[in-house]
Structure 1
Amino acid sequence: MSLVLILAATWALVALTPLLSRFLGRAVGWPLAAGLLAVAALLAARRPEGDITEAVQWIPALDVAFGLRLNGLGFLFAGLVLIIGAIVLIYSASYKSARATGFFTTMMAFAAAMLTLVLADDLVVLFVAWELTTIASFLLILGSGESGRRPATRTLLVTAVGGQALLAAVILIAVRTGTTELTAALGHDAWNDTGFTSAVAVLIAVAAMTKSAQFPFHSWLPDAMVAPAPVSAYLHAAAMVKAGIFLLMVFSPAVSAAVVWPILLITVGVITTIMGAVFALRTKDIKQLFAYSTVSQLGLLVAVIGIGTPLAMKAASIHVLAHGLFKAAGFMAVGLIEKRAGTRDVRELRGLRRSMPWDTAMLVLAAASMAGLPPLLGFISKEAILDAMISAPFGLGWIAAAGVVLGAALTVAYSLRLVLPLLTGRPFAVAPWRETWPMSGAVTVTASAGLLLGLVVPVLDRLVVPAAAEAARVPASKVPGLALWHGIGPPLLASVLAIAVGAVIAVLYLRSEHAEADAEERAFTAVGAVQATLDSIIAAGRRVGDLTRSDTPAGNLAVPLVLIAASAFALPGLWRGMPEHVADIQLVDSLLLAMTGLGTFAMMRARSRLAALVLLTVVGFALVLWFFALGASDVALTQLLVEILTVVVIVLVLKRLPREFDRESRRRRAVAVPIALLSGVAATAAVLTFSGHRDLAEAGRFFLEEAEGLTGGTNVVNTILVDFRALDTLGELVVLALTAVAIVALLDARPLASRRITPVATSVVEDPQRNALFMRDSGWILIPLMGIISVYALMRGHNAPGGGFISALIGAAAIILIYLASHNDRVPSLERPYLAISGAGILIAVVMGLVGLAEGAFLNPIHGEVLGVHVSTAIIFDVGVYLAVFGVILTAINRLGMTRTGEVTPAVIVEPPAESVANQEGPR
């Protein structure tokens, strides 16, 4: 099976998870685990074929392909992601007490995103997968409840900084190398440029350090411990933090020539190793201890990757595996202990060996591998790291080795600080084991694997050596194999020294008062610094928003209108004279211009809101006639329908507002009138200056000449909307759907104000009920006719004026007629699922976009013939446009104008007649 299909199968598991969870509940973890193991088996079956590269078209306009690559490095990380993920899912099936659809779906998405990341052979695919892991981790931490809200936000803030750094690196590489293909970009000659290489090296390092919790970005990892144990186990062992390590190993051969690379990685790595170990030693919460130990262990990995030799990459590769096993075992053991003992405080867990003997033994085994005790896999990887440091080809290696030895000694110390209290004390009551046996089994598998693989470590050569060779960009023959015993030498002596010093530190610490004392509050913490940064960003945004925050339209329009008006003073310097075609103004142009000007002036003088709306409509209809006169029938028809529907919707709002505008002060008029005049002058002059002297643009000429041949449609406007620029149209549809959602959300949060009505005379002419008689009678004919015209306009849109937008407006006009002809505001025939209709339009448009992938690009229309008639998927896309637009209008009518069945009719405020108001105000 191809890599693309294997990855697609993984994402298909994500899509199936909600359905499986509905039927299986929390037991869904078992089939999902089986699915991940099956994917791992498929990858293992492809691996003997050697390095594999595949690509399918994705964004052909940018020459971006969905490229995948399976090599030694990717295979190592893919195996870790899938196998540890499967074990954690089995563990979760017992850890969760009830159905957790969201949890399992996000965990599967996390696994799929990580697999996409480690298989990516395109910089854009790599970046997208990187950001997906960020989002998945945020959602998993957020899913822990109210306590997870702030930690999740802080985690997102820190890791998003790394995402921006990676994006900058991707752009630099793509622009300089001229390709987004990862393999080709890494082999380009551009890396010989020291400045370019140094810039990319810093950006990659920052991105990886935020993900892998390196100083000073380390705070998010222990902060994220509010997440459930399965999330912590997967995030720390195989997913989130390993993404940063993978990124460093992928780019190390290309950027290692930059002097800043080894200095930055080794320095930050050693500092983080020691700092994390000290914090781990001081904590009493065993979950926090494992969190800080993860920070420390990742520091080791970053430092050894900075060395960059084949020996160093072998050490990094084997430690990635060892760390994944003992860290998964440790965090899952913490969750098991918390589940059965009800606490994570190591001081309250004395005697755990007698209460939970087997699980305690597995925890001790994981801690021993973490401490680097022989013959566990952690010992082999730790010794390999020391060997790489001591053998480094530059003087920084010995200094780094000294720091790593200190970090290793502190690792032994906090490991003993964890396990020694558990081995002493009296037994205490714990929950029965029968409900948690899958959890215990998962801990046993990962902890025992560290021991078994340590004893037979040469069998890992086929996994570790190709990964190290790829990361060092050398042949596999240049990477030494693995062995438990390398003889007596500096690495072994350094390991023995670290174990001895760590044991002494642990004993001294356990005898001190600090081992039992509660943690003291510190005035300054890394988490506090991140939270302060977040608060400052929000406060700054609020201050910026305050500059333009206003509930009045005038307040929101003030800034852009002032800027436009100010630009009028700069235009004389750009003026190129009156365009030649301005002299060809026809009589109809003059009449329509006069009509527009008079309507605008009268609207400004209107005191009544309804009168202003009518006069605004006069201006709108003048523009409609102008468009028709200029031959833009599509635009004119659209404008006409929008004017009609806009009037109705605005009237629905106006009926809840006072009849007249508030009186304006002379000062406001003195400011507003000049700004309005200058804005109009600036806008007119800008159009004449920048567009008046141009002929038809090259793009316009292309559409006119090529549209029919490329799309089969003769309506150029419609072909632009649904063929050439369908992605723009899809974006507009999403905005429309969000408008419908916003209307609903706004009115649910703050109901409509009471209705305001003004009594009218009871004459036949002014009685609204009798006046609606004509609409009701004519509606029997007009409404079906408008529906037919709507469908007709939809079907003919590719070749004549019409299309999804116009036809939807015609259909919406029929809905308006039904509403206006009704006796009251309760119109059951219009009570339809308006949001679902609009959402269906978006769904149809997206599905048609995915269908276009068959022709090589998203939203690429597929053409064919049915019974000799040319057809295109763009027609179905237009149906999506129709439903999205129709749904928005239906939303407005339902929520602004109707009282739905079962709802209480809003209160009615009766205003005095206009004559009474005039008498009360006195002469004007």
Structure 2
Amino acid sequence: MLITVLALTLVVCVASLFLGHALGRRAGWIAAAGLAGTAAVVLAAWAGRDGGAAGVVTQSVPWMPSLGIDLRLRLDGLSLVFTLVVLLIGAVVLAYTAGYLPRGRHGPFYGLLTFFAAAMTGLVLADDIVVMWVMWEFTTVCSFLLISQSGPKAKAPAIRTFLVTAAGGLALLTAVGLMWARFGTTELSVILAAPDWHEAPGFAAAVAVLVAIAAFTKSAQFPFHAWLPDAMVASTPVSAYLHAAAMVKAGIYLLLRFSTAFAEVPVWNVLLVTVGLATALLGAIWALQRHDLKELLAYSTVSQLGFLVATIGIGSAYALLGAIVHVIAHALFKSALFMAVGVVDHQCGTRDLRKLRGIRRTMPVTTVLLTLGAISMAGLPPLFGFVSKEAMFKAMAQLPGGIAVAVGTVAVLAAICTFAYSARMVLALLRGEPGEDAPREGGWDLLVPVGVVAVAGVALGVAGPFAEPTVNAATSAIGADAAADLSLWHGVTPELGMTAVVVLCGTLLVLARHHVDRVLDRRVTPFRATDVVEGFRSGSIALGTRIGDLTRSDAPLRHLVPPLVVVLGLGTVGLATVSLPPPRAGLGHWVDWIVLPLVGVGVALAIRARTRIALVVTVGVAGFAVALWFYVLGAPDVALTQLLVEILTVVIMVLLLSRLPRTFHVSGRRRLWFAGILGTLVGGLAAVTALALTGQREISAVGAALLERSYDLTGGTNLVNVILVDFRALDTFGEAVVLGVTGIALMIALEARGLLPLRPSPIRVEADSPIRDAHENALALRTSTRFLVPILLAFSVFYYVRGHSAPGGGFIAALIGGAALALIYLSASSNRVRPLQLPFPLFIALGTIIGVLSGLLGFVEGSFLRPLMTELGPLKLSTALIFDLGVYLNVIGVILAALTKLGTDDVAPPLRKPQEPSARGFSGGTP
């Protein structure tokens, strides 16, 4: 059932992506219905659980079984509350978006917003710390992308947001690694119940600090608070959902979930209470200083999250209960307020409190809804915000002696400021008379979603006891035994007295608001947090530049010497300290004495080469000799790959040579001697190491096992291909993706910089020469190409199909197909247009998608990229053939990218004038 919930959110995401293009903003209604339906499935799963009130719903699907990591999902009371917040608030915001966005296509926006809902759902349901961390990072990336979509001004805030929240992700990853190493499992419920938290206080304190830092960054706690107000450049739906009701709640969820383990860790309690109270007070003061409604709400969110963090830090059963109640209340009133402010901005064209006049008369519904949200945020009855604030105040009042006074005083001061800025919002709408161009009330498609959450705050405030079973289940899930009492009246209590002080002092602040504005018209802290983040960013870039300057050179010597020296030193020490038996006799072969001199001649000629064309030819001699060597040694797959790579490398180099200087700088004699001696020593060491490590046996135990079982397990007899597409398919998939990214990077780099201009041919041709005409001169090649290309393409298909049982496979087949494409480009009489109009980026994308889909098929048998087999007569067919097709398309796409961008001048003009490399720049010499 829980896998179904997660799958439904992903279905909504994919559907929203396409419907956003087809239906425009109206797709928001369908997406909202999808999330609401998913919430209904969650409630059905909760209602059908076993075990009564204390029961949970669990489900697990193998993900990486060899590592013990599974897609474990767990629905208990706490995850139920947060899942409903994510899905139901998300549904309301998406419905609001359908009326808020301008007309047009909004596929990417809806796709990202619903994918964020899916990631948050996965986060709060995850019962595996690795899965939890993955979902945590998904929310970070989604937030960055949604903010950056808001225009050029959003670029810097999006980057700053990403830096802060990604830093928290690294802290959480460190905590995940420590817990995994300590407990030997990634199952979250098992880890939280382990006795090690009490037996190893140092370990518990370290993990507690890391988890707290992660939560502070995501929930905008001081000093990591800057990103949330900074992110208000995003559109109102993004602010209402991600940065008020959902994403910031990820940190609160993390604190509540781990409170079971850290409740008795002193550093946890002190850190959360101190940071939470400081954030609550500072955020409230900053909100009082703001005149922009959206910015005011941003700082109020920082303050309210501080209240939550401090309450969780108290750690008592009633404190955790109060925090859970306030999570619900905050989600309701803050989403209502953000959407109501969006209506004001949408209709009035401004959010400045000082410019709003007469809104109560021209926009009465909006005024009422915004007022309801503000009353709840201020903590006044009969709204649910009053119930949640009273619960938090009660938890603070239950602290011992002086601690209760100190904590309660700071909390009351923050609540007084909250009352004051809430009142400022309402008064801005009530005062003044409308002008001639007074705004009109928003449409029903804007007001209905706001009304749903605003009225829900009233309903829960009046009928709070109906929510008590859900709240009790949530507190029980984290080991708290407090019973919720969500009624409005509890008699004369300390928390009621604290509320009375808040109302009295808050009213005085409102009455003296002009004087308060003059007092607060200054910077509260000596620096701005955004400046700190920006300074860290620019400093990191500057440091990276300085470090990069150490190796920023085209000279290969600068890059190759350090690793070669390290390899030489480590290898020498290793051979000197490890005792290995001598290699067995009979390792040599008579062909070695033919091929080895050929390789040596090729290397020697390459060193002596003075022109680029000579260098290409001589390096090719060594390459073809190595291919022959592989074939003789019994590795036809490797030999064929080497041969085809050499052919295509020569083709690509020939395309480049026409744009590079004919000659290049030759290094001095001293440098050549140094390079030669170092290369000889490292090469000799590599040869001795290979003999010592591989010359002891006929075949390794792993190799023997693969030979014996490969056919039974995969249906393939070509062990090289079987290893690539079956046993280590994940490695091959990663390499294929990297290859595809390389092709796209090549395309982007050449389109951004432009191609180097063609150089005149060094061959002088007389005007009346028969080879003067390029078109006529290529006649023989074009004629032969008509016959060779179909043959090569047929061979390409042949080698692809037979790869699982004989030398071949997707990579080799793609290289053969690439050779056919290279013939077409080489036989063209002009380089002004493409001889083939093939969409190579599409090939790369399709190859990656096919690889992913074939990997997902493996989940039928329990893991990603696990091959599925079927028998067709005497043949054994495997999904590895589909995976190999993805590899084929990736390689073809990269070859096409190189041929198209290097073999023709049919490219976009450069964004800036390319700098022609000097003769020394490509030489290997020092500039």
Q: TM-score range by the shorter chain?
A: over 0.9
Q: Does structure 1 residue 853 correspond to structure 2 residue 856?
A: no
Quote the offset at 1:839 in angstroms: 2.3
Residue 655 of structure 1: aligned partner: 658
Quote the offset at 1:78 in angstroms: 1.2
Q: Does structure 1 residue 4 correspond to structure 2 residue 19?
A: no
Quote the offset at 1:121 in angstroms: 1.6
Residue 586 of structure 1: aligned partner: 589
Residue 646 of structure 2: aligned partner: 643
Q: Give, as a single letter, the amino acid of the residue that structure 2 aligns with 1:796.
A: R
Q: Classify 1:827/1:279 alpha carbon distance in 2 versus 1 (closer, same or farther; 3 Å).
A: closer
Q: Does structure 1 residue 357 correspond to structure 2 residue 364?
A: yes
1:391-443 Cα deviation digits (max 9, x unpaired): 13686344322221222122112222332343222223566546533222322
**1:724 paired residue among 706, 727, 730:** 727
Is the partner of 2:72 in helix, strand or coil? strand
Q: Does structure 1 residue 544 correspond to structure 2 residue 554?
A: no
Inter-partner Cα distance in structure 2 for 1:343 and 1:91: 19
Alpha-carbon contact 2:423-2:510 (below 8 Å) kept:
yes
Residue 95 of structure 2: aligned partner: 90
1:65-117 Cα deviation digits (max 9, x unpaired): 11111111111111111111111112211211122222222111111111111
Inter-partner Cα distance in structure 2 for 1:102 and 1:406: 43
After superposition, residues 399-548 of structure 1 pair within 5 angstroms as 399-429=406-436, 433=440, 436-471=443-478, 473-474=479-480, 478-512=482-516, 514=518, 524-548=527-551
Inter-partner Cα distance in structure 2 for 1:759 and 1:693: 55
Q: Classify 1:242/1:774 alpha carbon distance in 2 versus 1 (closer, same or farther; 3 Å).
A: same
After superposition, residues 286-305 of structure 1 pair within 5 angstroms as 286-305=293-312
Q: Classify 1:404/1:671 alpha carbon distance in 2 versus 1 (closer, same or farther; 3 Å).
A: same
Residue 908 of structure 1: aligned partner: none
After superposition, residues 121-270 of structure 1 pair within 5 angstroms as 121-192=127-198, 193-270=200-277
Quote the offset at 1:205 in angstroms: 0.9
After superposition, residues 792-871 of structure 1 pair within 5 angstroms as 792-825=798-831, 830-871=836-877
Alpha-carbon contact 1:720-1:726 (below 8 Å) kept:
yes
Residue 917 of structure 1: aligned partner: none
Inter-partner Cα distance in structure 2 for 1:280 and 1:338: 18
Is the partner of 1:69 in helix, strand or coil? strand
Q: Give, as a single letter, the amino acid of the residue that structure 1 aligns with 2:450.
A: V
Quote the offset at 1:381 in angstroms: 0.8
Residue 921 of structure 2: aligned partner: none
Q: Classify 1:377/1:522 alpha carbon distance in 2 versus 1 (closer, same or farther; 3 Å).
A: closer
Quote the offset at 1:654 in angstroms: 1.0
Q: Classify 1:820/1:153 alpha carbon distance in 2 versus 1 (closer, same or farther; 3 Å).
A: closer
Inter-partner Cα distance in structure 2 for 1:583 and 1:45: 72
TM-score, with normalisation over the residues of structure 2?
Answer: 0.92
Inter-partner Cα distance in structure 2 for 1:746 and 1:553: 21
Q: Classify 1:434/1:67 alpha carbon distance in 2 versus 1 (closer, same or farther; 3 Å).
A: same
Is the partner of 2:443 in helix, strand or coil? helix
Alpha-carbon contact 1:355-1:428 (below 8 Å) kept:
no
1:25-83 Cα deviation digits (max 9, x unpaired): 11111111111111111211222223211111111221211111111111111111111
Quote the offset at 1:803 in angstroms: 1.1
Is the partner of 1:56 in helix, strand or coil? strand
Which stretch has the larger CA shift, 793-802 or 94-103? Answer: 94-103
Is the partner of 1:657 in helix, strand or coil? coil
Q: Classify 1:403/1:595 alpha carbon distance in 2 versus 1 (closer, same or farther; 3 Å).
A: same
Which stretch has the larger CA shift, 353-362 or 371-380? Answer: 353-362
Alpha-carbon contact 1:74-1:118 (below 8 Å) kept:
yes
Q: Give, as a single letter, the amino acid of the residue that structure 2 aligns with 1:146.
A: P
Q: Classify 1:559/1:768 alpha carbon distance in 2 versus 1 (closer, same or farther; 3 Å).
A: farther
Is the partner of 1:420 in helix, strand or coil? helix
Q: Classify 1:431/1:19 alpha carbon distance in 2 versus 1 (closer, same or farther; 3 Å).
A: farther
1:625-677 Cα deviation digits (max 9, x unpaired): 21122111111111111111111111111122222223433454354344333
Alpha-carbon contact 1:213-1:295 (below 8 Å) kept:
yes
Inter-partner Cα distance in structure 2 for 1:103 and 1:514: 41
Inter-partner Cα distance in structure 2 for 1:469 and 1:23: 46
1:345-399 Cα deviation digits (max 9, x unpaired): 2122243333433322222221111111122111111111111111136863443
Is the partner of 1:806 in helix, strand or coil? helix
Q: Give, as a single letter, the amino acid of the residue that structure 2 aligns with 1:306.
A: G
Inter-partner Cα distance in structure 2 for 1:226 and 1:466: 38
Quote the offset at 1:118 in angstroms: 1.3
RMSD over aligned Cα atoms? 2.6
Q: Does structure 1 residue 327 correspond to structure 2 residue 321?
A: no
How many residue pairs match? The answer is 899
Q: Give, as a single letter, the amino acid of the residue that structure 1 aligns with 2:592.
A: D
Alpha-carbon contact 1:121-1:183 (below 8 Å) kept:
yes
Which stretch has the larger CA shift, 355-364 or 620-629? Answer: 355-364
Q: Give, as a single letter, the amino acid of the residue that structure 1 aligns with 2:491.
A: G
Alpha-carbon contact 2:751-2:908 (below 8 Å) kept:
no
Quote the offset at 1:689 in angstroms: 4.9
Q: Does structure 1 residue 19 correspond to structure 2 residue 18?
A: yes
Q: Classify 1:583/1:765 alpha carbon distance in 2 versus 1 (closer, same or farther; 3 Å).
A: farther
Residue 42 of structure 2: aligned partner: 43
Inter-partner Cα distance in structure 2 for 1:584 and 1:533: 58
Quote the offset at 1:767 in angstroms: 10
Inter-partner Cα distance in structure 2 for 1:181 and 1:442: 38
Q: Classify 1:710/1:426 alpha carbon distance in 2 versus 1 (closer, same or farther; 3 Å).
A: same
Is the partner of 1:257 in helix, strand or coil? coil
Alpha-carbon contact 1:313-1:469 (below 8 Å) kept:
no
Unpaired stretches in structure 2, ≥5 consecutive residues:
50-55, 911-927
Which stretch has the larger CA shift, 288-297 or 685-694? Answer: 685-694
Q: Classify 1:808/1:455 alpha carbon distance in 2 versus 1 (closer, same or farther; 3 Å).
A: same
Alpha-carbon contact 2:280-2:304 (below 8 Å) kept:
yes
Is the partner of 1:831 in helix, strand or coil? coil
Q: Give, as a single letter, the amino acid of the residue that structure 2 aligns with 1:63.
A: G
Inter-partner Cα distance in structure 1 for 2:703 and 2:586: 24
Inter-partner Cα distance in structure 2 for 1:538 and 1:456: 55
Q: Give, as a single letter, the amino acid of the residue that structure 2 aligns with 1:846.
A: V
Alpha-carbon contact 1:571-1:685 (below 8 Å) kept:
no
Inter-partner Cα distance in structure 2 for 1:474 and 1:284: 41
Quote the offset at 1:782 in angstroms: 3.2
Inter-partner Cα distance in structure 2 for 1:856 and 1:513: 63
Inter-partner Cα distance in structure 2 for 1:514 and 1:846: 60
Q: Classify 1:827/1:345 alpha carbon distance in 2 versus 1 (closer, same or farther; 3 Å).
A: closer
Q: Does structure 1 residue 630 correspond to structure 2 residue 633?
A: yes
Identity of aligned residues (%): 47
Is the partner of 1:720 in helix, strand or coil? helix
Inter-partner Cα distance in structure 1 for 2:580 and 2:136: 54
Quote the offset at 1:568 in angstroms: 6.8
Q: Classify 1:665/1:697 alpha carbon distance in 2 versus 1 (closer, same or farther; 3 Å).
A: same
Inter-partner Cα distance in structure 1 for 2:824 and 2:112: 45
Inter-partner Cα distance in structure 2 for 1:321 and 1:127: 24
Q: Classify 1:810/1:513 alpha carbon distance in 2 versus 1 (closer, same or farther; 3 Å).
A: closer
Which stretch has the larger CA shift, 363-372 or 778-787? Answer: 778-787
Is the partner of 2:23 in helix, strand or coil? helix
Unpaired stretches in structure 1, ≥5 consecutive residues:
905-924
Inter-partner Cα distance in structure 2 for 1:117 and 1:492: 36
Residue 71 of structure 2: aligned partner: 66
After superposition, residues 336-347 of structure 1 pair within 5 angstroms as 336-347=343-354
